[in-house]
Chains A and B, each alone.
Chain A
Amino acid sequence: MLIEMLIDLTLACGVVLLSCLSLSAQRVFTAIVLYVSLGLLTTMIWARLNAWDVAIAEAAIGAGLTGALLLVAWRRLCDETAAQPEA
């Protein structure tokens, strides 16, 4: 009981902490990595809530594919800033 409570509290605090870190990250890449970690932590929370369907969807779409899309978009941002140096 106590251990379960401890796990849940850690997960809840971790999600809030990760979302704050992800939003306030100075570099875009750091923000993306933190966002993907946030997705994985959310997956664990859904699993703790016994919502396995949502957990699988969150892991596959929320953390996996969204992460890949964000990373490709990040590469495009890098290209644009490299091509057009700030005036």
Chain B
Amino acid sequence: MFTKLEFRKREANRRELPPFAVYALGFVVIVLSVALMFSVVVSGKAAPKLAGLAAEKLEASGVENPVTAVLLNFRSYDTLLEIAVLLIVAIAVLPARSSNAAGVAHFCSADKQDVLNPVLAALLRWLVPLAILVGGYLLWTGAYSPGGAFQAGAVIAGAGVALSLAGRHEFLWHTTAARIVINLGLFVFIAVALSNALLTGTTLQYPVDYAGMLILVVEIAATVSIAAILLLLFTELKAMVDAPREGRQ
């Protein structure tokens, strides 16, 4: 998908715009920035309306962290669409190539013959579980203090990036397991919304008693999908780099 992207040289960039236009654009940007800063200063302190509202209704949200309450309860429609956007991105970069290793189709497969540097192997043995643990902690603590699905997903994806960079493990995105993992977040979110619609009559308005549990379920599924999609972005870009290299050698 991104194979047609070209990196333009600085000179080529410069030649496209006459110097007058560059300075004019710079001037416009500076004036707009100053005006924006000035407007913030002039308008004074804004009434913290929404923050107050969120803090007021915090008890009804099922969680104690106001950010999580807004993201996954009061404005959960936004978060639902965000996860849908991530899924669209994932579909756009999903590899088109089919499986070349017939038979074994694990999501994360290791090349047993490839011997890792012992220091790197020892580091990974600690780093990857630790990153997953930190991700789980961020997810769990999101209900009480800063943290949440996006942060947890990013940390877990970081563990995958480390594994992928070490070179022994490969993530196979054409497997069924990978597809399930990528879709899980949006699927669970929509399932929760629909079941809410049947029970309470309003989509995404959680009943107060179950709100905390529902948010946790949605967040766990979202974390798994976010981690997988961020990792997919990295491994696919890396595969595009590695493919021509192997072909040339």
Contact = CB atoms under 8 A, between A and B. Distances in A.
Given A72-B241, A73-B237, A65 B230 contact: yes
- Tell me what chain B mostly uses at the interface: helix, strand, loop, or mixed: helix
B154 A60 contact: yes
Interface in B91-124: none
B244 A60 contact: no
Interface residues of B, number: 25
Interface string B1-24: 000000100000000000000000
A76 interface: yes
B230 A57 contact: no
- Tell me what chain A mostly uses at the interface: helix, strand, loop, or mixed: helix
B214 interface: no
Interface in A32-62: 52-53, 55-57, 60-61
Q: Which 10 A-B pairs have the closest CB atoms?
A: A52-B146, A60-B154, A53-B146, A56-B151, A53-B67, A72-B237, A76-B241, A61-B154, A75-B241, A77-B7
Interface of B: 7, 65, 67, 138, 145-148, 150-151, 154-155, 157-158, 161, 230, 233-234, 237-238, 240-241, 244-245, 248
Interface of A: 52-53, 55-57, 60-61, 64-65, 68-69, 72-73, 75-77, 79-81, 83
